[in-house]
């Protein structure tokens, strides 16, 4: 029997062989552990199914994620409904049971805050592919047709297709489980089980009121002044509509589509007119253009609530310039349910709805005490068919009976020539034989060299010089007359 000599050295190749075997064993253990871990994760994801991607839960109470782009696909696949709600945060405060009463049917809300048209297309396409949908209530914001939206992460396309093999992105996504834990925590903390009735609804957690809206108004006047150069072209917006809206109408002729334009506060449009005239004009043009497209489909109806002054001038219904309370969502559903002719857009009134909103924007002014006033300005003989058509892109109300408007626009409207002295910040209006001089920030004026006192000084704001309308017109030889047309509604008529 052979006995190895402990003093005898090992063969030169013995150690590498043993190391190689150890490495192989380690690798096999690692691979086996990885496969086991993956199998456990897959099985957990499939059984627990945090986003209800595969089924509606039966063994436990549903826990819903507030990450709508991730939660909505599972809802669309696995819940019972025949009516869906599509749109941005403007649609989140719809209460499904109230929509059921207004429209008939069983409603599922599939809103996505801050969503773009391609995202709305994906969830609408998925829901429509189930064959369950008979009605679509779609809140269509103009800005959803833009090409990009800030502060949005990557879109989870893998949750919207039928490819099982890319579900690994769902199984191994830590945020999936994080959302489930957060949902469970909210449920345990509040003691309330979640329900689809108030899923995504923020009405209960928000504060509404005129003071908040006016504070937001003053803030965004400054913030949004820089956005004007970043606006998508009208051609790009139209292309987005053609790509993401039209195919759904064409492919689902038996589904009833009800599109509506959300009623922002009137100050939302005022700020766009002041700071982003391209967006303001584009959205007005899109209303007419989109209706022509919609009108080609007998299964489509369109409703416009943006000129409903009883809502849009009541700032207590809003929490900022755009977002309104739940009761407004209820009014919208009820109006659409009864096919209210006041809001239904038709070939005969589509231009009138746009003109009405334009007129409201042109007339709206905020008084020093925070009230919304409407001023209609006309100059008979200057092309005005009726009061209220003066084209001033900015209006401020310094006090009773006066308006501050852009000096350049006022000069053109009055048929005067305007000169600006940058060094002295002086305006010089010339109309016929009359010369009016006023300096920004000063109530001292001169008419043909003679001193005159103004009640309100011209001001520099937002890159424009605003001048008192009535004083300027009268100093240039015109007469002005102010009439009260109703509560906080006034008419200024300028006469030769």
Residue 57 has a pLDDT of 77
How does pLDDT run across 430-473, given as a tens digit for each residue? 999 999 999 999 999 999 999 999 999 999 987 889 999 999 99
Q: Answer whether residue 16 is part of any domain.
A: no
Report for 31-40, 57-66, 357-366: range of highest mean pLDDT = 357-366
DSSP string of 13-24, one letter each residue: THHHHHHHHHHH
Residue 387 has a pLDDT of 46
Report the distance separating Cα 88 and Cα 81, nearest Å.
20
CATH number at residue 298: 3.40.50.1110
Q: Answer whether residue 15 is part of any domain.
A: no
What does the angle CA 324 – CA 91 – CA 361 come to, to the nearest 5 degrees?
Answer: 45
Q: Which residue(s) pair with 489 in the sheet?
A: 374, 486
User: Of 335, 360, 385, at which residue does a domain stop?
Assistant: 360
How does pLDDT run across 391-403, given as a tens digit for each residue? 788 899 998 889 9
pLDDT over 80 (residue 291)? yes
Residue 18 has a pLDDT of 67
Share of the chain above pLDDT 90, in %: 67
Q: Answer whether residue 241 is part of any domain.
A: yes
DSSP string of 259-280, one letter each residue: EEE----HHHHHHHHHH-HHHH
Identify whether residues 284 and 413 lie together within a single domain. no
Tell me the pTM.
Answer: 0.86
Domain membership of residue 396 as a residue range: 367-495
68: which 2 tokens?
């709508």
Identify whether residues 348 and 383 lie together within a single domain. no
Identify whether residues 460 and 335 lie together within a single domain. no
Task: Read off the DSSP letter of residue 367.
Answer: -
CA 378 to chain CA centroid, nearest Å: 33
Q: Answer whether residue 119 is part of any domain.
A: yes
Q: Which residue(s) pair with 427 in the sheet?
A: 420, 438
Q: What is the mean pLDDT of the chain?
A: 88
CATH number at residue 409: 3.30.457.10
How does pLDDT run across 76-104, given as a tens digit for each residue? 999 999 999 999 999 999 999 999 999 99
CA 256 to chain CA centroid, nearest Å: 24
pLDDT over 60 (residue 386)? no
């Amino acid at each position: 029997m052979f006995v190895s000599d402990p003093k005898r050295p090992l063969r030169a190749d013995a150690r590498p062989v043993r190391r190689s075997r150890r490495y192989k064993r380690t690798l096999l253990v690692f691979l086996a552990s990885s496969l086991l871990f993956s199998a456990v994760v897959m099985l957990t994801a499939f059984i627990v199914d945090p986003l209800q991607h595969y089924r509606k839960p039966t063994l436990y109470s549903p826990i819903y994620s507030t990450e709508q782009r991730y939660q909505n696909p599972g809802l669309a696949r696995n819940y019972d409904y025949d009516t869906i709600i599509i749109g941005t945060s403007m649609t989140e405060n719809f209460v499904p049971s109230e929509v059921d009463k207004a429209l008939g049917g069983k409603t599922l809300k599939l809103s996505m805050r801050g969503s773009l048209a391609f995202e709305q297309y994906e969830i609408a396409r998925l829901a429509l592919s189930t064959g369950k949908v008979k009605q679509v209530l779609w809140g269509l914001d103009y800005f959803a047709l833009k090409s990009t939206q800030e502060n949005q992460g990557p879109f989870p396309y893998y949750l919207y297709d039928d490819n099982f093999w890319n579900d690994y992105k769902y199984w191994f996504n830590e945020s999936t489980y994080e959302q489930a834990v957060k949902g469970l925590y909210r449920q345990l903390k509040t003691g309330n089980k979640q329900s689809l009735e108030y899923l995504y609804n923020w009405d209960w957690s928000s504060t509404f009121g005129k003071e908040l809206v006016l504070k937001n108004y003053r803030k965004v006047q400054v913030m949004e002044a820089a956005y004007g150069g970043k606006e998508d072209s009208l051609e790009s917006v139209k292309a987005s509509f053609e790509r993401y809206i039209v195919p759904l109408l064409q492919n689902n002729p038996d589904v009833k589509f009800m599109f509506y334009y959300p009623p922002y506060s009137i100050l939302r449009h005022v700020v766009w007119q002041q700071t982003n005239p391209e967006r303001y004009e584009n959205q007005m043009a899109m209303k007419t253009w989109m209706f022509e497209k919609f009108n080609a489909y007998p299964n489509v109806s369109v409703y416009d609530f943006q000129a409903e002054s009883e809502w849009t001038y009541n700032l207590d219904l809003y929490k900022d310039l755009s977002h309104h309370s739940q009761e407004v969502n209820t009014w919208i559903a009820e109006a659409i349910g009864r096919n209210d002719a006041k809001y239904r857009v038709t070939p005969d009134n589509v231009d009138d709805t746009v003109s009405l909103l334009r007129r409201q924007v042109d007339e709206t002014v905020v008084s020093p005490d925070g009230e919304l006033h409407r001023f209609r300005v006309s100059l008979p003989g200057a092309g005005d068919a009726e009061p209220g058509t003066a084209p001033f892109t900015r209006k401020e109300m310094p006090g009773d009976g006066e308006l501050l408007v852009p000096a350049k626009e006022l000069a053109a409207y009055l048929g005067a020539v305007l000169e600006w002295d940058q060094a002295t910040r002086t305006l010089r209006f010339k109309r016929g034989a009359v010369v009016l001089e006023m300096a920004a920030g000063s109530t001292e004026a001169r008419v043909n060299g003679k001193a005159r006192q103004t009640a309100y000084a011209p001001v520099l704001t937002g890159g424009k010089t605003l001048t008192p309308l009535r004083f300027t017109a009268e100093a240039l030889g015109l007469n002005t007359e102010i009439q009260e047309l109703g509560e906080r509604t006034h008419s200024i008529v300028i006469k030769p």
